[in-house]
Structure 1
């Protein structure tokens, strides 16, 4: 017989992550009020499996959590991709099976975000709130399309996935899981997904979803994602769009503490974390970059960011810009001891510097 103490344990804390066999259902701790815990549903991106949500599973033990294996990924990597609508219906079916009361808080990243939009369009009654990040709905250009197709030839190579993991900001075991999962993906499935996503566009009847929505993008992601914000706001007037300073695409792994803070603020009170930046409040280009850097620096120093702070004026064109290498150097990360060799040795006190007289 299972004790009450055992029932209150969060299973995910004792289950090691696996690239293709990570659990889908994570029961939350029982509330003292005996009311069912709310449910979070996480939809992973197009290069990872449901294991990528483990940092969120561990942080939200007070919620019931579903981390689905999307078709063609994770435990379902052998399946054939059958389209966004089919994937959305799969998600809806699992929600209907596992959630007996109330709507869910649906969270999607990248491909998972696109599928989340289709769930909202086809099954709006299942969703209490919607949060997506890194989700492009604007079509890609021919150059980007050609580059994506070229990458399909490398999909079975471990070095390719390790390189991608570094670009996403992954470290340690995430890099290993990412690589282990990536080499199992089928090129024909990835090509079919690209063919469906590349033209862009929003799902039909998306406007039937009337609940709250938050769309995010990392400031270090391709600008294509942020360009999607306008289309989202046009279709869903209630949509809130924000930029996350300093973050790459897979920022739920890159900075799980920040991601979890942003998510908890959203699902608990439909609120916005103070670090988020309104993309409409700053001008694009240099001003937006400066504003994002200021937000990131303030967060690193424990200060409260000021999203309404005006960006400084652009530098005059006559001022010399730093080179590519110099521009990457962060003075806060430099170790002065490493540059001691550049300093000229000082002679002992009271003795002349012989090098001046040319005696050397």
Structure 2
């Protein structure tokens, strides 16, 4: 457990080698990365955590600078572990936090992996404006009864039974207000200028069955930041590391091996 001035952050490390830090999907917690821990802890020091507001970590403070609160726990964790930098990989919510970290602390990033996420959600088009409005309107769904949310997860992920089981269990541990805060905090972002100002390699991964507009968001990242390598994963939804863990692991291993 990492102690901070305003709480504590749960984390685990597995294996030895170059550090690989994995940031989970919203409210999913460190356990969603078990397949990646098994694969990559052979050659890497794999670091997983419960982000602030999730699982065994402290709650989010107030309603201001929430994205910064969550993100700034990561430099503290890396320093605590004696790591000067790491490969940073985030999926969905975690992809936003990973990019926010990369924008604020580029010196901490050896490589950046963005999975089933987005980089620029400014309402610069009708479709983006409608998406942004729908996400804000849907954010209170985090306050629904946990059993209702668990049924929704099982239904939405019935094609991916392992993901359905994990996510339905995860929402039974949901902290509704923290989840609502996190969801609202990550909606409006613009990371390409900061990503273009840096030079770390970037991998984008997106499931071909992900949520509406997800593929377009990831394609927009590749166009906005041309050094981004984008890989689409067949028969996968957000989060791809849970829906297609073997395919995702192969993609990540190839990216890490190329650098």
TM-score band w.r.t. shorter chain: 0.7 to 0.9
Q: How do residues 54-73 of structure 1 correspond to structure 2 at under 5 angstroms?
A: 54-60=34-40, 61-73=42-54
Shift of residue 126, structure 1, vs aligned partner: 1.4
Note closer, same or farther for the CA distance 1:104–1:166 as it changes in structure 2 (3 Å cut).
farther
Between Structure 1 and Structure 2, whose CA radius of gyration is higher?
A: 1
In structure 1, C-alpha distance between the alignment counterparts of 2:38 and 2:115, rounded to whole Å = 20
The secondary structure found in structure 1 opposite 2:110 is strand
Shift of residue 150, structure 1, vs aligned partner: 5.0
Partner of 1:109: 91
Runs (4+) of structure 1 moved beyond 6 Å?
none
TM-score between the two structures when normalised by the length of structure 1: 0.59
Shift of residue 200, structure 1, vs aligned partner: 4.0
Which structure is richer in relative contact order (CA contacts within 8 A, separation 6 or more)?
Answer: 2
In structure 2, C-alpha distance between the alignment counterparts of 1:263 and 1:223, rounded to whole Å = 24
Partner of 2:133: 142
Give the alignment's Cα RMSD to 1 decimal: 2.6
| Structure 2 contact 207–233 (Cα < 8 Å) conserved | yes
2:12 matches 1:25: yes
In structure 2, C-alpha distance between the alignment counterparts of 1:78 and 1:88, rounded to whole Å = 14
2:141 matches 1:151: yes
TM-score between the two structures when normalised by the length of structure 2: 0.80
2:94 matches 1:94: no
Partner of 1:312: none
In structure 1, C-alpha distance between the alignment counterparts of 2:105 and 2:23, rounded to whole Å = 15
In structure 2, C-alpha distance between the alignment counterparts of 1:159 and 1:188, rounded to whole Å = 16
In structure 2, C-alpha distance between the alignment counterparts of 1:126 and 1:249, rounded to whole Å = 26
Q: How do residues 1-360 of structure 1 correspond to structure 2 at under 5 angstroms?
A: 24-29=11-16, 37-60=17-40, 61-76=42-57, 78-80=59-61, 82-100=65-83, 103-137=85-119, 138=121, 139=128, 140-146=131-137, 148-154=138-144, 156-168=145-157, 169-171=159-161, 175-202=164-191, 205-233=194-222, 235-270=224-259
In structure 1, C-alpha distance between the alignment counterparts of 2:202 and 2:87, rounded to whole Å = 10
| Structure 1 contact 77–186 (Cα < 8 Å) conserved | no
| Structure 1 contact 45–110 (Cα < 8 Å) conserved | yes
Question: Deviation digits for residues 84-109 of structure 1, max 9, x if unmatched?
Answer: 222222112211221446x3111100
Shift of residue 127, structure 1, vs aligned partner: 1.3
Which deviates more, 132-141 or 62-71? 132-141
Q: What is the aligned length?
A: 238
Note closer, same or farther for the CA distance 1:204–1:253 as it changes in structure 2 (3 Å cut).
same
Note closer, same or farther for the CA distance 1:184–1:216 as it changes in structure 2 (3 Å cut).
same
Note closer, same or farther for the CA distance 1:23–1:221 as it changes in structure 2 (3 Å cut).
same
**What 5-or-longer segments of structure 1 have no aligned partner?**
1-21, 30-36, 271-360
